[in-house]
Amino acid sequence: PPDISGKWILETNDRLEDYMKALNIDFATRKIALALSQTKLITQDGDKFTIKTCSTFRNYEISFTVGVEFDEHTVGLDNRHVKSLIKWEGNELVCTQTGQKANRGWKHWLQGEKLYLELTCEDVVCLQVFKRK
């Protein structure tokens, strides 16, 4: 599988506001989150990952093993509990988040020198592109 580890900085952000609305994230948090720069710190050791999403306002961290479902509590995001399962699908690292919200998950993949992250909830797809920092 590809090596997505490293330090990445957000370059473009499409439909984050709609994604946050789909998650019922409040107005004030949405406005702050939209204005923020975000950095992803990814460590990868075989099938084990830690992904930290960092900003000056709030950070969000998950650790997981590919293929092993875990309970994710999205503290500081929408504060829900979901069952998350991450798998490699070809060269894409794909997460399914099963819970109250339909069609929820994300995908990471590399393209050129960039890291892409697609975040999905219900009918909304947010696309973020990161460059190496």
Residues that bind ligand RET (CB under 6 A): 20, 25, 29, 33, 36, 38, 51, 53, 55, 57-58, 60, 62, 76-77, 106, 119
b/e map of 90-105 (b: 16 or more CB within 10 Å)? eeebbbbbeeebeebb
User: DSSP E strands: which ranges in 3-123?
Assistant: 6-14, 39-45, 48-54, 60-65, 70-73, 81-89, 92-98, 105-111, 114-121
| Minimum CB distance to ligand RET smaller for 51 or for 124 | 51
| Minimum CB distance to ligand RET smaller for 53 or for 124 | 53
Nearest-CA neighbor of 38 among 12, 9, 15, 71?
Answer: 9
The CB-nearest residue to ligand RET is 51
Shortest reach from residue 3's CB to ligand RET, in Å: 15
| Minimum CB distance to ligand RET smaller for 62 or for 102 | 62
Shortest reach from residue 7's CB to ligand RET, in Å: 14
